């Protein structure tokens, strides 16, 4: 370009770093307790009014007549001395031709708090999966749910991270891994056994009795019904689109209902239950309200997560604080 014109345009490079999936995974699993505590402390500060959050409803753009969409998820957390500004743009990749076997595709971004340039980008696949697993662990923590036996239904990325974080914190006697692909269940159980010494991890071919059930599937039909053995605590993570379902509506009156955010009322099982007159929106307690009020009285609980920009934000805040020179464990 002509030097005089370039001088006139006065364009300056914007500082930027990018964390790929491997680096995101490394930072979020190196010290899992520190990550969970960081997110939980952020929720405490927001619930207590010490920090402020701006979290518009996620925007979901669905391709007409097709089971696929893309989502825009912004969030700003303001606290004394600074702010964390983030946005995630992800697609639901049900086609999987150019990027096979990866439902979540896209990027998340952190903006500079003062000047609003994009200071960092993140591969969104494992970030989204890990933050969903962390959400499951914090939900179990906040519900004060006993977890002697954990059953994970759906042993992909989200199922793995859910078992990793819950298992590391609750130290159940056993983690049972169930998947429509028995080999994937076996691989997940083997990986967890290596990472959670002292916890019995096994693949199973059918649902077994458990205290806590985590479902992380892409099922179009409910997997848990009124005639099944009912765990005390169910955490449903997979029904995050209008066409996905994991829990039968007959159980709407059996469980106290919780959700990561009230956005979850707009898709999956909670949307279907409202349409069928099985529940009202005021019957669902969101995660910040749960943090604010403290653990509920003992009783059956169903927690639904369909993806939270706030959890993205707190996760990105943690990622940016980690020492990038530590070795992969």
What pLDDT is attached to residue 94?
Answer: 85
197 Cβ contact list (under 8 Å, min separation 6): none
Q: Which residues of 27-61 are buried (b: 16+ CB within 10 A; e: fewer)?
A: bbbeebeebbebbbebbebbbeeebebebeebebe
The CATH H-level (homologous superfamily) assignment of domain 12-126+312-321 is ornithine cyclodeaminase, domain 1 (3.30.1780.10)
Residue 248 tokens read as 């039968």
Residues of the chain with CATH 3.30.1780.10: 12-126+312-321
Show the tokens assigned to 235.
């955490």
CB 45 within 8 A of CB 38: no
Angle at 153 between CA 265 and CA 247, to 5 degrees: 35
- CA–CA separation, 232 vs 238, rounded Å? 19
Alpha-carbon distance of 42 to 317, in angstroms, equals: 10
CA distance 59 to 44: 26
Which pTM was predicted?
Answer: 0.94
pLDDT tens profile 223-267: 999 999 999 999 999 998 888 999 999 999 999 999 999 989 999
Tell me if residue 154 falls in helix, strand or coil: coil
**Does residue 287 contact residue 259 with C-beta atoms inside 8 Å?**
yes
In whole angstroms, what is the distance from residue 269 CA to residue 245 CA? 5
Pick the CATH number of 132-307 from 3.30.565.10, 3.40.50.1240, 3.40.50.300, 3.40.50.720: 3.40.50.720
pLDDT tens figures, 91-108: 988 888 999 988 889 999
pLDDT of residue 328: 33
Listed in order, the ranges of the chain carrying CATH 3.40.50.720 are 132-307
- Low-confidence stretches of the chain (pLDDT < 70) are 323-329
Q: Phi/psi at 60 (nearest 5 deg)?
A: -115, 125
**What are the residues whose beta carbons fall under 8 Å from the beta carbon of 292, sequence distance 6 or more?**
47, 48
Whole-angstrom Cα distance, residue 248 to residue 253?
Answer: 11
């Amino acid at each position: 370009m002509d030097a005089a014109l370039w001088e006139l345009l006065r364009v300056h490079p914007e500082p930027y770093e990018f964390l790929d999936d491997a680096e995101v995974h490394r930072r979020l699993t190196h010290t899992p307790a520190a990550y969970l505590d960081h997110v939980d402390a952020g929720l405490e500060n927001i619930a207590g009014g010490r920090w402020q959050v701006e979290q518009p409803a996620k925007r979901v753009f669905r391709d007409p007549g097709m089971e696929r969409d893309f989502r825009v998820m912004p969030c700003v957390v303001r606290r004394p001395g600074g702010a964390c500004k983030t946005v995630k743009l992800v697609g639901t990749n049900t086609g999987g031709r150019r990027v096979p076997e990866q439902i979540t595709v896209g990027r998340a971004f952190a903006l500079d708090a003062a000047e609003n340039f994009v200071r960092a980008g993140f591969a969104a696949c494992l970030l989204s999966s890990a933050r969903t697993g962390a959400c499951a662990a914090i939900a179990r923590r906040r519900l004060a749910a006993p977890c002697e036996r954990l059953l994970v239904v759906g042993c992909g990325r989200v199922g793995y991270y859910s078992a990793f974080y819950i298992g590391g914190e609750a130290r159940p006697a056993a983690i049972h891994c169930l998947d429509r692909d028995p080999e994937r269940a076996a691989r997940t159980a083997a990986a967890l056994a290596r990472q959670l010494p002292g916890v019995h991890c096994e693949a199973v071919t059918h649902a077994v009795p458990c205290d806590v059930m985590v479902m992380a599937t892409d099922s179009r039909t409910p997997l848990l019904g009124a005639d099944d053995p009912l765990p005390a605590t169910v955490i449903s993570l997979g029904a995050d689109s209008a066409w996905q379902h994991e829990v039968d509506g007959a159980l709407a009156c059996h469980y106290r209902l919780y959700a990561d955010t009230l956005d979850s009322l707009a898709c999956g099982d909670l949307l279907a239950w409202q349409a069928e007159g099985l529940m009202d929106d005021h019957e669902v307690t969101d995660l910040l309200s749960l943090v604010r009020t403290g653990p509920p009285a003992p009783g059956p609980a169903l927690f639904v997560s369909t993806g939270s920009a706030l959890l993205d934000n707190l996760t990105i805040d943690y990622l940016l604080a980690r020492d990038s020179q530590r070795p992969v464990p």
